[in-house]
């Protein structure tokens, strides 16, 4: 592992109350920074005190959105270690996102070394609570000043850490979702497969509309026919129909979630049939009428598993699993968080102990 230069924060902050962490509201004492220039490539990764960054108002990220990011977590295990969950997959996806947005790729191993060094530096910030964790946000922004529309020649990579509470302070429970007919998240050939700022900007409006109607998330349909299911909020989505588990295929507009992949592999290891295919919203509602829609849940780093209890499409609303958390959802949640927290075996080698 390469030695990474550290400039220690001489004025550490006081830590927030563990009960009030929420998500992404507090940040630790340090951050990892690394700059890119056309001459030097990515150079000089460094751990420095967490603090504001200074950019020219013409920095390209403010105008043309050249940005990619990742989301991952560090967990305290029952026996006092600290683990990451499939961090190689996040490093790899960061580079895949960068490729789409014309951002120069980073050395995945070097970046992961830097992230591990950063988490070790700020290990006192990893919360103790049963389902809390240290959220890790690597991101890259185009910093070159100038208004020409083209790929920048200067970038800044940063990794910031945020102690985050349980996604479900009162235990895992189902959400209600709203099938979005007007707004579209992404279309094949667009940026839907990349973790990039613009995809999220695009979704905020629809999220607000759904919330105004009392639903907590949006179910996105495909941009071409507005017929097939893509994602829910910023999660991938799974359904259990007549005993079979189905999830939208990675058609070119869906983010290849790491939790999605973990869920598929776990389910298969339990003997379930998992099919990646097109799923129309019509099929879902028909299955609900026929009594064969047994479960629905979202998957993502933040919530891990987010059971879906209600779904609204046009004027019709259906209830799934009687509005409760389904059996598969619960088992997946317990298993993945159990692996992450080191209380269960790790048959796939997903856990990476870093401390």
Residues lying near a copy of itself in the complex (CB under 8 A):
22-25, 27, 31, 50, 52-58, 61-67, 69, 100-102, 135, 137, 139, 141, 145-151, 158, 160, 162, 182-191, 196-205, 207-208, 223-224, 226, 233-234
Q: Minimum Å distance from CB 49 to a copy of itself?
A: 11
Burial 218-234 (b: 16+ CB within 10 A, else e): bbbbbbeeeebbbbbbb
Q: Minimum Å distance from CB 60 to a copy of itself?
A: 9
Q: Minimum Å distance from CB 146 to a copy of itself?
A: 5
Q: Minimum Å distance from CB 39 to a copy of itself?
A: 18
Q: How far apart are the first and last CA of the chain?
A: 14
Q: Are 85 and 91 in contact (CB under 8 A)?
A: no
Give 195 or 260: the residue with its C-beta nearer to a copy of itself. 195
Give 190 or 338: the residue with its C-beta nearer to a copy of itself. 190
Give 199 or 325: the residue with its C-beta nearer to a copy of itself. 199
Q: Minimum Å distance from CB 155 to a copy of itself?
A: 12
Q: Minimum Å distance from CB 151 to a copy of itself?
A: 5
- Please tell me the distance from the alpha carbon of residue 3 to that of residue 25, in angstroms, as a whole number: 30
Give DSSP secondary structure letters for 234-290.
Answer: TBEEEEEETTEEEEE---SSS---HHHHHHHHHHHHTT--EEEE--BHHHHHHHHHH
Give 63 or 352: the residue with its C-beta nearer to a copy of itself. 63
- Please tell me the distance from the alpha carbon of residue 73 to that of residue 86, in angstroms, as a whole number: 10
Give 31 or 82: the residue with its C-beta nearer to a copy of itself. 31
Give 253 or 321: the residue with its C-beta nearer to a copy of itself. 253
Nearest 5°: the CA angle 168, 20, 25 is: 95
- Please tell me the distance from the alpha carbon of residue 342 to that of residue 336, in angstroms, as a whole number: 10
Q: Minimum Å distance from CB 87 to a copy of itself?
A: 18
Q: Minimum Å distance from CB 54 to a copy of itself?
A: 5
Give 120 or 227: the residue with its C-beta nearer to a copy of itself. 227
Structure-block tokens of residue 291: 């009594």
Strands 175-179 and 304-313, how do they pair?
Answer: parallel
Q: Minimum Å distance from CB 261 to a copy of itself?
A: 21
Give 38 or 343: the residue with its C-beta nearer to a copy of itself. 38
Sign of the torsion formed by the C-alpha atoms of 91, 201, 125 and 255: negative
Give 130 or 224: the residue with its C-beta nearer to a copy of itself. 224
Residue 352 β-bridge partners: 84
Helix (H) or strand (E) holding 121: helix 108-121
SS3 193: coil
Q: How many CB atoms lie within 10 A of CB 45?
A: 23
SS3 228: strand
Strands 229-232 and 72-76, how do they pair?
Answer: unpaired
């Amino acid at each position: 592992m390469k030695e990474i230069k550290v400039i220690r924060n001489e004025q550490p902050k006081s830590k927030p109350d563990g009960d009030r962490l929420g998500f992404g509201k507090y940040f630790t004492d340090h951050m990892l920074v690394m700059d890119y220039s056309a001459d030097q490539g990515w150079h000089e990764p460094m751990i420095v005190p967490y603090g504001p960054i200074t950019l020219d108002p013409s920095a390209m990220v403010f105008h043309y959105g050249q940005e990619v990011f990742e989301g991952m977590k560090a967990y305290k295990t029952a026996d006092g270690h600290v683990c990451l969950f499939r961090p190689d997959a996040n490093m790899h996806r960061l580079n895949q996102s960068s490729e789409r947005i014309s951002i120069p790729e980073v050395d995945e191993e070097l970046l992961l070394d830097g992230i591990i060094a950063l988490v070790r530096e700020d290990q006192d910030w990893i919360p103790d609570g049963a389902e809390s964790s240290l959220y890790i946000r690597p991101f890259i922004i185009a910093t070159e000043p100038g208004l020409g529309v083209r790929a920048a020649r200067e970038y800044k990579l940063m990794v910031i850490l945020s102690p985050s509470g349980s996604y479900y302070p009162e235990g895992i429970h189902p959400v209600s979702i709203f099938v979005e007919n007007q707004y579209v998240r992404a279309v094949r050939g667009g940026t839907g497969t990349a973790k990039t700022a613009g995809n999220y900007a695009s979704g905020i409006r629809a999220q607000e509309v759904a919330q105004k109607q009392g639903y907590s998330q949006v179910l996105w349909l495909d941009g071409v026919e507005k017929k097939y299911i893509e994602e829910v909020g910023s999660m991938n989505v799974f359904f259990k129909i007549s005993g079979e588990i189905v999830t939208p295929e990675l058609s070119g507009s869906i983010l290849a979630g790491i939790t999605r992949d973990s869920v598929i592999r776990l389910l298969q290891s339990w003997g379930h049939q998992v099919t990646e295919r097109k799923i129309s919203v019509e099929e879902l509602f028909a299955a609900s009428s026929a009594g064969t829609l047994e479960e629905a849940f979202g998957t993502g780093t933040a919530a891990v598993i987010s059971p879906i209890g209600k779904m609204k499409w046009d004027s019709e609303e259906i209830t799934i699993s009687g509005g409760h958390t389904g059996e598969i959802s619960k088992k997946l949640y317990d298993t993945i968080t159990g692996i992450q927290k080191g209380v269960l075996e790790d048959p796939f080698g997903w856990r990476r102990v870093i401390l």
